[in-house]
Amino acid sequence: EMSPQEQAFQDRVDKGEKIEPKDWMPEGYRKTLVRQIGQHAHSEIVGQLPEGNWITRAPTLERKAILLAKVQDEAGHGLYLYSAAETLGVSRDELLDKLHSGKMKYSSIFNYPTLNWADIGAVGWLVDGAAIMNQVPLQRTSYGPYSRAMIRICKEESFHQRQGYAIMMKMAQGTPDQKNMAQDALNRFWFPSLMMFGPSDKDSVHSAQSMAWKIKINTNDELRQKFVNETVPQAKYLGLTVPDEKLEWNEEKQGYDFSEPDWSEFFEVIKGNGPCNRERMDARVKAWEDGEWFRDGLNAYADKAADRRKA
Ligand code: ACO
């Protein structure tokens, strides 16, 4: 049973009104947003690690400049998203503390290694491609600050996807060895990319309530299907093979039938047992600890400046 206040809130959501930071909102709505926006922010930040790993080894100066810009964009996305989460009454320090202590999640995909340059192409094409597929509808999410952050992020994200596809194109049209590298990267990133959309709808604990509140606009399976439908022709254009024997066009549903990812692998990865979970968390915690002297210095300077203004 909804209270009159909750009913009034739901009516606003149903009418498509944006909810703003100072508006009344149910505690569950606030908590769900803090969880989702916080996780999303953490994903952007942790997501810099697998690609940052290749900045020093990019094959040309141009590729290096592009990758550097892209990885910096991800840092910016993380910062907008932490700011959006802060409007809900949670501090950035609190969110980071929860990430570092393993109490908050970040996207499963960033726990897979990037072994060679073709992987950077596959990450841009598939991982950023999946990210946009999920984020375009989130531009219409009911919470104002999140929705506005998504508009800017999607513009940058579509450039990321194109730079990944451009790398894949170069590799796929290169020597046989380069083409094999591109195929191998696709083989390894295909199913982990499908996992980015979350568990299948029957196992998605939050979807129903999040969709009623218009925090989420689509179910996990809807977006996964859309991603497969758009990505398979792109793979064909590259002359690469999607590593799924069950993949087949289904005329009736106007979409591809495809194999589900290995969900036991997904649940292991989000529990912390993926190939790179430890490495990623160690790198984040080290960065946080190494930055302590700098944060302390900034705070000391801010305090002094405030004292001086008082005097
Ligand atoms: N990686 C890690 N955890 C995941 C993933 C994933 N790919 N998918 C689902 N989960 C977690 C959920 O967070 C939830 O765990 P929790 O209750 O401890 O928070 C659990 O699995 C069950 O999943 P759902 O009930 O389906 O969760 P939800 O409704 O939040 O849907 C989704 C998951 C689709 C990822 C949603 O949170 C979302 O759209 N988030 C915003 C987009 C985002 O975070 N993108 C980050 C990757 S892209 C990038 O940053 C480049």
Evaluate if residue 310 carries a pLDDT over 90. Answer: no
**Average confidence score pLDDT of the chain:** 97
Other Cβ atoms closer than 10 A to 288: 15
Q: Which atom number of ligand 1 is nearest to the Cα of residue 77?
A: 50
Residues with a CB atom less than 6 Å from ligand 1: 35-36, 39-40, 43-44, 47, 105, 107-108, 131, 134, 195-199, 204-207, 210, 216, 220, 270
- The preferred substitution site among 270, 273, 280 for testing ligand 1, maximizing ligand atoms within 8 Å of CB, is 270
Distance 240 CA to ligand 1 centre (A): 29
Q: CA dihedral in degrees (170, 167, 161, 271; nearest 10)?
A: 130
Distance 199 CA to ligand 1 centre (A): 8
Q: 114 and 51 in contact (C-beta within 8 Å)?
A: yes
Q: Which atom number of ligand 1 is nearest to the Cα of residue 39?
A: 44
Distance 130 CA to ligand 1 centre (A): 13
pLDDT tens track for 178-228: 999 999 999 999 999 999 999 999 999 999 999 999 999 999 999 999 999
- Residue whose CA is closest, atom 47 of ligand 1? 107
Nearest to 59 by CA among 114, 122, 120: 120
Q: Which atom number of ligand 1 is nearest to the Cα of residue 107?
A: 1
Query: Taking each helix axis from N to C terminus, what angle separates 176-195 and 144-172, rounded to the nearest 10 degrees?
Result: 160
Euclidean distance between the first and final Cα of the chain, in Å? 55
- Cα separation, 45 vs 78, in Å, equals 6
Other Cβ atoms closer than 10 A to 182: 27
| Beta-bridge partner residues of 248 | 257
pTM for this predicted structure = 0.96
Q: 42 and 106 in contact (C-beta within 8 Å)?
A: yes
Distance 204 CA to ligand 1 centre (A): 9
Q: CA dihedral in degrees (187, 188, 189, 191; nearest 10)?
A: 80
DSSP single-letter state for residue 139: T
| Beta-bridge partner residues of 19 | 143
Which is more confidently placed, 12 or 309?
Answer: 12
Distance 183 CA to ligand 1 centre (A): 28
The pLDDT score that the predictor gives to residue 92 is: 95
Q: What angle do CA 271, 272, 273 make, to 5 degrees?
A: 100
Q: Where does the pLDDT of residue 1 fall: very low under 50, low under 70, confident under 90, or very high at 90 and above?
A: confident
